[in-house]
Structure 1
């Protein structure tokens, strides 16, 4: 069997400036990193609160390994559910104001597991057009009637809900959209979903830690509870600085996931030491509100400076600050030119974003300084000024 067809497709992808390649990170996450042997300033990580290399988390990981070992050893339902996992689930439930929480190994697995445990071919799922791939994949694989409503458009959702006679109606949205940085209109989405007798599921991967007085994400930001958002998903590898994910909700929801979520049932549990470290991370997320305050200061500084330079920013109040470029080739050019200046920013291209909307996805961390932001703006002025 020949792979010539695959080679041809890969060549076409390169020619269209859509080829992806891995980079070798040779340092811990932080504002200054070493990539492929080159030291530079990073604006491309989801380590929003600067916790991925925090001394307290590193020590907690070491302590967790000493206490619980390294590997989970089995699935949660066999013999892999340690007291570290259980304590973290209880802490996450208390923090989110919900009766229960359930750990998953990744955010992708949490979304796939939750959607497919809740709905099947008798049901309907409604998703924002800009939802993360894991949410879209979960909906498609569920076998439910799949519909996508216009981005953050409550009227579009309401019209689709009114036309269905499905047994169950599951509305799924990101809390903060990962490529645009904007926030879903959760109060309005919740209202129309409840009126239609449906359930609202929110993946707040990029909201947790960054929004709300205690970092409780979009639901805390809007003052919503379990009645408004019955299925709440969060990841731990972004603002928390560790790894894994969780679903928080009612007793009935979590027990249903334990019984039916295949991505929970049929996989080895996360290393218990990671869960132990995340307990320390959760305390920092809750208590150190200065990290969120600093993020807001950095975001305001960047937006003012980039707008003054003539760049087209997207409507985002979050640490995700995309610069809309347009063509994939131009986004790649600017990204490479910035790297030559010692600044790492990823060029996001189709199919991750629609054709003609390639962008530089600038992300900020509480570990950045104002001087770092000014260096970025200076570099953008030199190499990335919009062409007339």
Structure 2
């Protein structure tokens, strides 16, 4: 049996995860442990599972058995016989590491170099786990706090100078005196290369000053100072706190998004969102982490370009689909807000899809795929070829099926660019 299937997904229990956000979305009791990411897709680290009549099977195994039938001939030709994206629900209860991702050429070269040098894939000093790039997008489901891209150097100088920490004065001078790319590069290199004990003391003093400024009415950048002070509670003395002050502080409202391309430093601090990315594990870290930081490689990958973080809002199409535009082909993310009594909407075939319901109840009906057995998980009387998703549930749709949507709720659609 083939066709549309409900997904059973794995929750990743990373230490930074919220203990409540994903259970609230899924309607399950909290375990008391962090629940950081709900993975939907065919990544071998935690593939979703589907049941086509013979019990649960990992989605990557299903795709490997017949890539063309599952992904479509065009997708296989462009990206190979694997699902080219990973879809997640991400719940940050504490800051994630400050990080950056390589572009495709950098990833291929870095992976080949580390393979040639015999560095094991699980070595703590390994930078490149694969030869792929990792562009990503986050869409807020709750108020979501993050850092994205560099501030203008003069703005960063003003923010740091207001802390009144003498040991930060040289950074302020550099930010005000040099061209944008040189100023940002020199300060980030100096922060990451500073003597650890001295930098830890500077960070502690800066954190205390940030907390005071955040509590002072009328202080410029008060919300950013509060975010730095909060992050320091998880990473006391971490030089990433100073590096974070070079970045734009962003508060996304539900439905707003950020696209993070290659070379853009970023971190997620708190909130619940849906995230989609190319299928890669390549991460170079620059702070807010006890993990390995390869400063020379990081400085080679980072794009020292300042500017607006580029908050995205969905673009509505005549058919009701709301698209979050991204300049890559490995993933395409959109949203459907369904109202009761509205005309059914049709999702086109030709590409693999993962559909996630984040509120309400959405009914899926296959229009021209294979005849399916009834899915009775939500409704004992469900007709063949239909499936009902409630909040937190998701489904996989192979390339050969058009899907009709009805119901009342919010549905996110993850696929590739056709």
Comparing both structures, which one devotes a greater share of its residues to strand?
2
TM bin, normalised by shorter chain, reads under 0.3
Which structure's residues are more often helix, by fraction? 1
| TM-score relative to the length of structure 2 | 0.26
